[in-house]
Amino acid sequence: MIKQENIVYVKPTLLDIDEMQKLVKPEVDEGIILPRNDDEMATNIRAYVVAKFNNKIIGFCALHIFSKKLAEIRSLVVDKSYRRNKVGQNMILFLIEESQKLCVNSVFALTYQKGFFEKLGFSMINKSELPEQKIWADCIKCKYFPVCKEIAFIKQI
Ligand SMILES: CC(C)(COP(=O)(O)OP(=O)(O)OC[C@H]1O[C@@H](n2cnc3c(N)ncnc32)[C@H](O)[C@@H]1OP(=O)(O)O)[C@@H](O)C(=O)NCCC(=O)NCCS
């Protein structure tokens, strides 16, 4: 178990993108997380939170706003060697706090991580309830589209 006080949760800068890409590569290769190129990450840099341990990025996650009410938790990843240390949970809490400040009503996630999202108080919903922009902008980029086994979760905040 790593000491929580040695982990910081901060907004990344453009200089963090190379390290973020390296961290997420295994999950992108496995098709668990959608690829985002450097420019996409740069454009959306303000959406992310990164977890740093001794100045090394050990996880990151993004909050993508879809509408005046709804946002998505996406690109959630924690370095394999640091999992089960509450890093994923703390990044979600960071982004939920950010959503609350922005007056977002609810956040959703599309995921294979049922147990994790249930622990964080998310409820399962039917994928057909997701916004259409998600399907057209993102899902068509996925190598598993249209046979998607991900589960949709939502949380009112
Ligand atoms: C999902 C992921 C981010 C979880 O990160 P993590 O830092 O290991 O999770 P945490 O330690 O914060 O877990 C928080 C709680 O969820 C539980 N949990 C974590 N992963 C779980 C899993 N796969 N199944 C069931 N419970 C899980 C933890 O035990 C903990 O519960 P506790 O409070 O009772 O101890 C990490 O496993 C990961 O990067 N996976 C690969 C990428 C991925 O699937 N991303 C999701 C895309 S939306």
Global pTM value: 0.94
| Paired sense of beta strands 70-78 and 106-111, if any | parallel
Q: How much is the pLDDT for 144?
A: 80
| Average pLDDT for 112-127 | 95
> Can you tell me the distance from the alpha carbon of 41 to that of 19, in angstroms, rounded to the nearest whole number?
12
| Average pLDDT for 126-143 | 79
The rounded mean pLDDT for the chain is 93
pLDDT band at 136 (very low <50, low <70, confident <90, very high): low
| Sign of the Cα pseudo-torsion (53, 56, 57, 58, in order) | negative
Q: Which atom of ligand 1 lies closest to the CA of 115?
A: 25
**Two structure tokens written together for 21:** 């890409």
> Can you tell me the distance from the alpha carbon of 90 to that of 72, in angstroms, rounded to the nearest whole number?
16
Residue nearest to atom 21 of ligand 1 (CA): 116
Q: Which residues are paired to 123 by β-bridges?
A: 154
Residues with CB under 6 A from ligand 1: 27, 32-33, 76-78, 83-89, 109, 111-113, 115-116, 119
Topology (CATH level 3) of domain 4-156: Aminopeptidase (3.40.630)
Q: How far is the CA of 147 from the centre of ligand 1 (A)?
A: 24
Cis status, amide bond into 35, omega within 30 of 0: no
pLDDT band at 132 (very low <50, low <70, confident <90, very high): confident
| Residue from 119, 142, 150 whose mutation best tests the ligand 1 pocket (most atoms within 8 A of CB) | 119
- Do 70 and 131 meet the contact criterion of CB atoms below 8 Å apart? yes
CA distances from 100 to 55, 64, 155 (A): 28, 13, 12
Q: How much is the pLDDT for 13?
A: 98
pLDDT at 72 over 70: yes
pLDDT band at 29 (very low <50, low <70, confident <90, very high): very high
Q: How far is the CA of 101 from the centre of ligand 1 (A)?
A: 25
Residue nearest to atom 12 of ligand 1 (CA): 86
